[in-house]
Structure 1
Amino acid sequence: MNPHSDSLTTSGGRNALRMERRLAHPPAKVWSAITDPAHIGQWFPSEVTVDLRPGGAMTFHMPGVSGIAMSGTVTDADEPRLFAFTWGEDHLRWEITPDGDGSLLTLVHTFGDRFGGASFASGWHLCLTALSQLLDGASTAVPRDTGELHEAYIEQFDLGQGVVEDTPDGPRIRFERQLVRPAETVWAALTSGEEPAEGAQAPAGCTAREAPAGPVTEVRAPAALAYRWHPEGTVRWELGQGTGHGARLTLTQTGPRGFDADAALDAWHDRIEHLAARLLEN
């Protein structure tokens, strides 16, 4: 299964993750594996109940989680060609086409959170691996991603870039980046295990070459840290709820009019990628 054939496109605030996999089994067998709840539960990320008709209801139960279920609706059920449904605010479209003596399975996952794209892709990559193994009659046990697959999709989909935003007060640097470790682990990496305090110098791990250390103006471990790098400029790190098993990082830098925002953008990209690589070691 070649992840390099996977793609992520964005249009109108919605994102479409497209993944193609060739399976050495006829469409009818693949159809059964992706629509029969007894089979779905062996490779899909949740247990599923489904009324297999357009407009039919679906429920999604996460294994080991009681009392919580998401709902969806079947939008297409054209055996053995097309199965599509909503899952919360997302839409999943599974298309099966004959391919020699096997099938080509195409998944299109449409969702709103662009920066979750690598989490979705790495998760579906493992699910599709398990589906292939189920069809082959093998064990569907697939090792979880320890972060390397996620980071490969970050690079492939170019999800690690920041932007320079124009504001009435001047340019603002902004990065949003999904990480692969929880906020507590990220916080420890940023602060080298120390507990920063308001008024003290910002930890070196929170600075970049275009934003030297200054006094801390806000600290809420492990969720937020801000410091003043210039009399007219601040840097703020925020760690919130993300997709997968890691924190979502939002970093912003403001500064005086005329500060080199492009150089700062490059510096923060290098700093965040260094942090992401370090997290893979933990």
Structure 2
Amino acid sequence: MNDTATETRTVTVEREIAWPPEKIWRALTQPHLIGEWLMKGDIKPVVDHRFHFSADWGGVDCQVLEVEPNRILSYSWGGLGLESVVTWTLSPTDTGTRLRMEQSGFKSDQQQAYFGAKAGWPRFLGNLEQLLARMD
């Protein structure tokens, strides 16, 4: 039986970035850096750490689910009725890093959140690349 009410969708954005995973990891896990490209939040790369991201439109409650330094960072992303998971995967390449962001858990009746994420994440990753270019 196919139950469409429980089907979920995922937004995935992948980029080849010309910096090593260690540098990108810092931008993903240090509050003063993540605040520059994503949202303000007291993130820490520690499993079970709870934190809140805030922006002018509101905020999301998060909890760190998985940490593999310089490789995988995953946290829950909940707010406005959305219960999802954001997973960052960093894979070293000859020229830098393949960065993959996956946000999963959009229910079929959460079109606005889904399309917002589809539009928003590429923009956030563009901001991230600009920040990486400025970082030491």
Q: Is 1:127 aligned to 2:120, yes or no? A: no
Q: Which residue of 2 aligns with 1:91?
A: 85
Q: When the two structures are superposed, what TM-score results if normalisation uses the length of structure 1?
A: 0.41
Q: Is 1:60 aligned to 2:53, yes or no? A: yes
Alpha-carbon distance, 1:69 to partner: 4.7
Q: CA RMSD in A?
A: 2.1
The correspondence for 2:99, drawn from 105, 118, 125, is 105
The amino acid of 1:130's aligned partner reads N
Alpha-carbon distance, 1:12 to partner: 4.3
Q: Which has the higher strand share?
A: 2
- CA distance in structure 1 between the partners assigned to 2:68 and 2:85 by the alignment: 16
- What secondary structure, in the 3-state scheme, does the structure 1 residue paired with 2:25 have? helix
Aligned residues: 125
Runs (4 or more) in structure 1 with deviation over 6 Å come to none
Q: Is 1:34 aligned to 2:24, yes or no? A: no
Alpha-carbon distance, 1:118 to partner: 2.6
Alpha-carbon distance, 1:113 to partner: 4.0
Which runs of 5 or more structure 1 residues have no equivalent in the other structure?
1-9, 139-282
Q: Which residue of 2 aligns with 1:51?
A: 44
- CA distance in structure 1 between the partners assigned to 2:119 and 2:18 by the alignment: 22
Q: Is 1:21 aligned to 2:18, yes or no? A: no
- Percent identity, please: 25
After superposition, give the CA deviation of every residue in 1:137-169 in whole Å (9 maximum; x if it has no partner).
Answer: 29xxxxxxxxxxxxxxxxxxxxxxxxxxxxxxx
- CA distance in structure 2 between the partners assigned to 1:130 and 1:77 by the alignment: 23
| Matched ranges for 1:108-257 at <5 A | 108-114=102-108, 115-116=111-112, 117-137=114-134
- CA distance in structure 2 between the partners assigned to 1:80 and 1:21 by the alignment: 16
- What secondary structure, in the 3-state scheme, does the structure 2 residue paired with 1:83 have? strand
The amino acid of 1:104's aligned partner reads R
Contact conserved, 2:29 with 2:44, CA < 8 A, in 1? Answer: no
- What secondary structure, in the 3-state scheme, does the structure 1 residue paired with 2:48 have? coil
- CA distance in structure 1 between the partners assigned to 2:7 and 2:54 by the alignment: 28
The amino acid of 1:77's aligned partner reads V
Q: Which has the higher contact order (CA 8 A, sep 6+)?
A: 2
- Given the superposition, is the C-alpha separation of residues 15 and 107 from structure 1 closer, same or farther in structure 2, using an over 3 Å criterion? same
After superposition, give the CA deviation of every residue in 1:81-131 in whole Å (9 maximum; x if it has no partner).
Answer: 001100111110000000113000001101324423332111111100110
- CA distance in structure 2 between the partners assigned to 1:43 and 1:56 by the alignment: 21
- What secondary structure, in the 3-state scheme, does the structure 2 residue paired with 1:98 have? strand
- CA distance in structure 2 between the partners assigned to 1:127 and 1:51 by the alignment: 19
**Structure with max Cα Rg:** 1
